[in-house]
Structure 1
Amino acid sequence: QQMAGTLTRKQMIAELTETSKSLEERKHQVDLVITALKAEEEADQARFEQDGPEEEEASGSEGDTEKM
């Protein structure tokens, strides 16, 4: 007999399988965001190379350096 609050091996497997599926879905969503960010980065780089550095500095989109 099992004590209250303990899981059977089958219950554990079921819960871990569900957790694994959930994590796979979240990973897929994160991968989509990464892909989108890479595409934006490539588009920005192409625009920078086409327009020249003046456009990039004027837009202030990088935000890497802050003037005080």
Structure 2
Amino acid sequence: MGDTLTSSYYGYAIFICFASGFLLLIIDVKEYSKKNMQREKKTARITGWFNLSLSVVGFLLDILFT
């Protein structure tokens, strides 16, 4: 009787951060490197690692607090 179904969107947000960071690092950095766009390559690399880091921290916090 005390069981309730709770839904959380944290998992989706974590996945989106991970996927976008991974794709930035794999696809965008390679394309910017081919086109010799150094400023955009650096920005994509920083943003990609930030998204990956954010997803890992979010995943660890989700495990820790659930």
Q: TM-score, normalised by structure 1?
A: 0.42
Larger Rg: 1
Instruction: Name whichever structure is richer in helix by fraction.
Output: 2
